[in-house]
Amino acid sequence: MGQTVLITGASGGLGAEFAGIFAAEGFDLVLTARQTDKMEKLASRLHEKYPVKITVLFSDLSRPDGAKILYEEISERGILIDQLVNNAGAGKAGRTIDISPEILNDLINLNMVSVTMLCRLIGADMERQGYGKILNISSSAALFPDPWFNVYGPSKSFVLALTEAMRGELAGSGVTVTALCPGPIRTGWAENAGKAYPVIAADPRKIARIGYRAMQRGALKVLPTFSTKAGIFFLSLLPDPLKVAVGSCWQRAMIRKEKKNAPAQGNER
């Protein structure tokens, strides 16, 4: 019997690319996000090319119980998950004290609580079946201070630390846990967060392929591109206060660029 992968945030961006890669490799797919119409369209495109089973499920992972509701729905349908891509995530540009508490709460639930709960619930099933692979999408933002884009950076540091700890706990169980830490990727993500992309933003298909391969070989942590590795290396050489200042300049420049690009749309979600 073929394997089944659950991909969160599969309605666009990196998640949709992961869906294409897993379908091409013969996996059955469980795709989840809020925009089910987009996932249905993706599912019919993939069905035309690949003879795999695709289940589309609504989830709102910014709800504190979003992951539990999703897990119960998967279990009720009798679907066993062999591989999990914890991909759904979002950020919000601006100073922490200027962002509404509701938005911050949603981001914390989406980027941390739901990722933890899906690792917990599906990881336990994987351990029982003696096999499983989990890929958690972190970010290069996990590795340096992120003023003007707070909560996002710390949430991705959390995802990285969660991955490393679970990796140790599940050693020898047949279950591997991998973190992917990309730099900027050209999806709709930055605009949704209220900032622009730098010129060097990567192709989402390329990043998804690197993530897929890292997951299949059971790598612990992957920084996917040379520019990300080089950037993190040079930042690591700076004294801490300078890291904060560089992070601040960078994020403010990206926010100003986005305001120039889309003055009519505004930047509030």
Ligand X SMILES: NC(=O)c1ccc[n+]([C@@H]2O[C@H](COP(=O)([O-])OP(=O)(O)OC[C@H]3O[C@@H](n4cnc5c(N)ncnc54)[C@H](OP(=O)(O)O)[C@@H]3O)[C@@H](O)[C@H]2O)c1
Catalytic annotation, pick one of 71, 152, 197, 212:
152
User: Pick from 113, 143, 166, 190: which binds ligand X (CB under 6 A)?
Assistant: 190
Backbone angles phi, psi at 46, to 5 degrees: -70, -35
Q: Does residue 194 interact with ligand X by CB under 6 A? A: no
Parallel, antiparallel or unpaired: strands 83-86 and 132-137:
parallel
User: Pick from 5, 19, 21, 33: which binds ligand X (CB under 6 A)?
Assistant: 33
How are strands ordered across the β-sheet holding 54-58? Answer: 54-58, 28-33, 4-8, 83-86, 132-137, 175-180, 221-222
User: Pick from 4, 11, 150, 163: which binds ligand X (CB under 6 A)?
Assistant: 11
Q: Which helix (H) or strand (E) holds 84?
A: strand 83-86
Q: Choose between 19 and 170: whose C-beta lies nearer to ligand X.
A: 19
DSSP-assigned letter for residue 202: B
Q: Does residue 241 interact with ligand X by CB under 6 A? A: no
Query: Measured from the CB of residue 92, what is the shortest distance to ligand X in angstroms?
Result: 11
- Binders of ligand X among 93-112, rule CB under 6 A? 110
* Residue 131 among the catalytic residues: no
- Evaluated on CA atoms 124, 126, 130, 132, the torsion sign reads negative
Q: Which residues bind ligand X (CB under 6 A)?
A: 9-15, 33-35, 59-62, 87-90, 110, 137, 139, 182, 184-185, 187-190, 192
